[in-house]
């Protein structure tokens, strides 16, 4: 694909994507699947049997497991060979993250170490810093953590009060401050710490070692979920940080934090898939064992509905996640081909796709929450027992809507950034908004649906996008630059964007898969698309109405509502039979095999 053919972040709103241009999970190669298998083999042998011990914080267990993962090369998947890693592609790291996502508290420790723990040094460190720290982190000889959040600075990270002052001899920064909710804090050897130098307005970043005098770690937090994940406060009391351990440039810390979070958001979108699939397996296997009223509960329509919805949630999210991940990878490769340093290319590509990164973090975490909730419901009373496997899945899922920026922040980030970029006119969104607004008076009552399965869905999704343009255009006309302050409207727009991106990704995946394997191979997947699109049409209509009714009054409402209705029309679907077909395959296989 040529550089000018690759959609940049947010451009899915205005440009059509061809099925041949998207990556789908069925295209992972043998080496990538072998790495995934290595992850699962490690988890099955060393991690799954130790969940109880992990949750009880058995001393040294998680750090030891990270060491074993390092011996297998699983901590260095994204690390260049010169620093002891495997230097695999972005997509490969995402697939490995999916597998590791099934490991509950250990997954959190792993993803923290290879992500926000290692990547700031790998991507922003100088050669001396990278040579000193990265090989030991990639080998699992040392563990890493990331210290950003403070008691009064959570979502507003730059409000942190931690401070660094240059010593009189100019050799050290004297670091003072308090950090909280630090993952891996209890056993990490290396911390990336964010603080302001002197009276700077913007954060800087520092590499700090645990053994340095003045660094103190609190007792482990007692948490609702991810109980085995080490979460502590870290205190810095006149810690002498060598000046050579300033990471990046002075005042670059906030940029480092945000750019690393972009990567963390899309990677969280991968890790939740592992937990989704593991929970689905528990759900269907229990439903195939539990009898009520003389029948297995898997025979009942109410249970089939839940199982089918679990399948739909994971398959649509997976379609969107790997579509975006491949786009990020292609852009990385293009930047590198243009002469950009690989680390900078990774950072820039993820920043360019910040809208998709934020959307997928929301979609994935909320899909997982649905799946684990229904998993508990399928188990019934047993699901509320700590003896059942869905107990841990339910508790551990909840943090994902807070991790990597709350879902509220991510909705704002996705919706607001898409609008601001569009108003600059760079991607054609501004023009599309104007055209949709002008078309309202001439719209027919109902659209004429296109002939052909994929032509129909392209048309439907195109109209969904026009519905988004309508709300964006109307809201921007009302509020202009003050639209960013109308968070409820931004949420409506973001939710429309998320569901449209997932639907389009699902349609493109099925179309491409049919071209690869034939029509018979995608019959059930069409049920997924039919049900999902039918359902979200109502959702999108409501989001649009909620937004418009919040600022439009009088006669204008009639035209707007006419447009909303037109842009969200879809054909009727027999959702009951479609869901039953999806559930029956899951029940017959007794595991997720889609």
Residue 3 has pLDDT above 60, yes or no: no
Q: Do domains 254-408 and 421-589 have the same CATH topology?
A: yes
User: How many Cα atoms are found within 13 Å in the side-chain-facing hemisphere of 340?
Assistant: 16
Q: Are strands 231-242 and 144-147 parallel, antiparallel or unpaired?
A: unpaired
pLDDT digits over 283-325, tens only? 999 999 999 999 999 999 999 999 999 999 999 999 999 999 9
Predicted pLDDT at 344: 93
Angle between helices 453-479 and 487-517 (to 10 degrees): 160
Whole-angstrom Cα distance, residue 478 to residue 196? 38
The ranges assigned to domains in the chain are 25-143, 146-250, 254-408, 421-589
Q: Which tokens belong to 412?
A: 């704002």
CA dist 217 and 175 (Å) reads: 15
Element (H, E) at 231: strand 231-242
pLDDT at 589: 98
Residue 486: partners with Cβ closer than 8 Å, 6 or more residues away: 475, 479, 550, 551
Q: What is the C-alpha end-to-end distance of the chain, expressed in Å?
A: 28
pTM of the model: 0.95
CA distances from 13 to 158, 257, 338 (A): 31, 27, 27
- How far apart are the C-alpha atoms of 59 and 46, rounded to whole Å? 16
Q: How far is 149 from 139, CA to CA, in rounded Å?
A: 27
| Residue 2 pLDDT level (bands cut at 50, 70, 90) | low
Token look-up 């600059």 returns 424
What would the pLDDT profile of 61-113 be if each residue is shown by its tens digit?
A: 999 999 999 999 999 999 999 999 999 999 999 999 999 999 999 999 999 99
Confidence of residue 394 (pLDDT cuts 50, 70, 90): very high
pLDDT tier, 426 (very low <50, low <70, confident <90, very high otherwise) = low
Residue 1: per-residue pLDDT? 58
What is the C-alpha separation between 405 and 527, in angstroms, rounded? Answer: 33
Q: Which CATH class is domain 146-250?
A: mainly beta
Give dist(CA 424, CA 258) in Å, integer.
22
Q: What CA–CA distances, in Å, run from 484 to 159, 412, 456, 468, 489?
A: 20, 8, 34, 16, 9
pLDDT tens digit string along 469-520? 999 999 999 998 899 999 999 999 999 999 999 999 999 999 999 999 999 9
Average pLDDT, the chain: 95
pLDDT tens per residue, range 195-238: 999 999 999 999 999 999 999 999 999 999 999 999 999 999 99
**206-215, 328-337, 417-426: segment of lowest average pLDDT:** 417-426
Active site residue 404: yes
Burial of 294: CB neighbours in 10 Å, binned 0-12, 13-18, 19+: exposed
Q: Is 223 helix (H, G, I), strand (E, B) or coil?
A: coil
Please tell me the distance from the alpha carbon of residue 398 to that of residue 406, in angstroms, as a whole number.
Answer: 11
d(CA 164, CA 239): 9
CB of 36 closer than 8 Å to CB of 98: yes
Q: Which CATH number fits domain 254-408: 3.40.50.150, 1.20.58.100, 1.10.10.10, 1.20.140.10?
A: 1.20.140.10
> What's the pLDDT at 151?
92
- For the cut 90, the answer to whether the pLDDT of residue 54 exceeds it is yes
User: In CATH, which superfamily holds the domain spanning 25-143?
Assistant: Acyl-CoA dehydrogenase/oxidase, N-terminal domain (1.10.540.10)
Give SS3 for 47: helix
**CB-neighbour burial class of residue 193 (10 A; exposed 0-12, middle 13-18, buried 19+):** buried
pLDDT band of residue 424 (cuts 50, 70, 90) is: confident
What is the CATH number that goes with domain 421-589? 1.20.140.10
Residue of 11, 329, 366, 404 marked active site: 404
């Amino acid at each position: 694909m040529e550089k000018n053919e690759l959609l940049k972040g947010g451009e899915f709103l205005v440009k059509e994507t061809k099925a041949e241009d998207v990556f789908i999970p069925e295209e992972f190669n043998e080496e990538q699947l072998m790495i995934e298998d290595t992850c699962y083999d490690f988890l099955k042998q060393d991690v799954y049997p130790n969940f109880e011990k992990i949750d009880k914080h058995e001393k040294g267990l998680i750090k030891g497991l990270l060491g074993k993962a390092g011996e297998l090369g699983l901590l260095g998947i994204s690390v260049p060979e010169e620093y002891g890693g495997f230097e695999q592609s972005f997509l490969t790291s995402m697939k490995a993250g999916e597998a590791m996502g099934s490991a509950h508290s250990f997954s959190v420790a792993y993803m923290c170490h290879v992500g926000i723990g290692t990547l700031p040094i790998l991507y922003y460190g100088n050669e001396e810093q990278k040579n000193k720290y990265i090989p030991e982190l990639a080998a699992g000889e040392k563990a890493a953590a990331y210290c950003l959040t403070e008691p009064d600075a959570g979502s507003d990270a730059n409000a942190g009060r931690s401070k660094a002052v240059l010593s009189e001899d100019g050799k050290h920064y004297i670091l003072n401050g308090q950090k909280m909710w630090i993952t891996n804090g209890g056993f990490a050897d290396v911390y990336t710490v964010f603080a302001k130098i002197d009276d700077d307005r913007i954060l800087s970043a520092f590499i700090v070692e645990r053994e340095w005098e003045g660094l103190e770690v609190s007792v482990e937090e007692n948490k609702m979920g991810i109980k085995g994940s080490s979460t502590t406060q870290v205190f810095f009391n006149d810690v002498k940080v060598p000046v050579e351990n300033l990471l990046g440039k002075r005042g670059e810390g906030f940029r480092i934090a945000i750019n690393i979070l972009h990567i963390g958001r899309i990677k969280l979108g991968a890790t939740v898939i592992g937990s989704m699939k593991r929970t689905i397996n528990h759900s269907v296997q229990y439903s195939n064992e539990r009898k009520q009223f003389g029948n297995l509960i898997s025979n009942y329509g109410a249970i089939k509905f839940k199982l089918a919805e679990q399948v739909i949630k994971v398959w649509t999210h997976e379609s969107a996640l790997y579509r975006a991940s491949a786009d990020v990878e292609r852009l990385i490769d293009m930047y590198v081909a243009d002469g950009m340093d690989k680390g900078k290319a990774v950072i820039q590509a993820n920043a360019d796709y910040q809208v998709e990164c934020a959307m997928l973090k929301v979609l994935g975490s909320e899909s997982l929450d649905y799946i684990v909730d229904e998993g508990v419901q399928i188990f019934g009373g047993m699901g509320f027992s700590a003896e059942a496997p869905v107990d841990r899945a339910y508790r551990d899922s909840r943090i994902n809507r807070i991790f990597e920026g709350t879902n509220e922040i991510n909705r704002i980030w996705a919706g607001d950034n898409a609008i601001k970029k569009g108003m600059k006119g760079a991607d054609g969104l501004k023009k599309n908004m104007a055209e949709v607004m002008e078309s309202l008076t001439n719209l027919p009552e109902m659209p004429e649906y296109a002939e052909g399965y994929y032509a129909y869905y392209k048309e439907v999704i195109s109209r969904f996008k026009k519905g988004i343009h309508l709300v964006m255009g109307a809201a921007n006309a009302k509020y202009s630059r003050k639209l960013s302050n109308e968070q409820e409207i931004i949420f409506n727009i973001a939710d429309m964007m998320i569901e449209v991106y997932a639907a389009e990704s699902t349609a493109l995946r099925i179309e491409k898969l049919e071209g690869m394997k034939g029509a018979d191979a995608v019959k059930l997947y069409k049920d997924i698309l039919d049900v999902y699109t039918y359902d979200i049409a109502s959702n999108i209509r409501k989001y649009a109405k909620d937004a418009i009714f919040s600022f439009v009054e009088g006669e204008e409402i009639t035209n707007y509502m006419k447009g909303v209705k037109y842009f969200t029309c879809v054909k009727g679907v027999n959702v009951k039979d479609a869901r039953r077909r999806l559930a029956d395959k899951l029940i017959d296989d007794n595991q997720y095999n889609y």
